[in-house]
């Protein structure tokens, strides 16, 4: 399989096994989550749709980095409110490079700005 086919297989596996209904229940507690703007009956389908979009976007970006950078390790994270998609493509002098796609639901997180410091 080529890189896109492997990535799509991983996305399909995530979509089949990720507990979206549990995430919907957990995110009810976060009044700032974009998902809670939907009617309750529409939340799981909205979460599934957005998660698939995030994963496709992160895969596309990471594959482009891998193809254009020449680096052994290429990683991209995309976050939207309460969801985070990650993709890693790596080739550490192996005959076959590898790709990994991950999806994470975030109930609480900090968002700190970087700060300058003295050397």
pLDDT of amino acid 106: 86
pLDDT of amino acid 100: 97
Torsion (CA) 78, 106, 8, 4 in degrees, nearest 10: 30
Token code pair at residue 117: 């410091």
Name the residue ranges covered by the structural domains of the chain. 3-105
pLDDT of amino acid 112: 64
Q: Which residues contact 108 (CB under 8 A, 6 or more apart)?
A: 30
CB 96 within 8 A of CB 105: no
The per-residue pLDDT string of the chain (119 residues; one tens digit each, 9 = 90 and over) reads 999 999 999 999 999 999 999 999 999 988 888 899 999 999 999 999 999 999 999 999 999 999 898 888 999 999 887 899 999 999 887 788 899 999 999 887 666 667 778 88
């Amino acid at each position: 399989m080529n890189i896109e086919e492997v990535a799509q297989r991983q996305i399909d596996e995530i979509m089949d096994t990720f507990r979206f209904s549990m995430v919907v229940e957990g995110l009810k507690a976060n009044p700032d989550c974009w998902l809670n703007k939907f009617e309750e009956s529409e939340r799981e389908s909205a979460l599934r749709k957005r998660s698939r979009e995030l994963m496709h976007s992160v895969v596309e970006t990471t594959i482009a980095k891998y193809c254009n950078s020449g680096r052994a390790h290429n990683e991209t994270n995309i976050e939207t409110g309460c969801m985070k998609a990650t993709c890693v493509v790596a080739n550490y002098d192996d005959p076959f490079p590898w790709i990994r796609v991950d999806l994470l639901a975030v109930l609480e997180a900090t968002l700190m700005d970087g700060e300058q410091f003295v050397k």
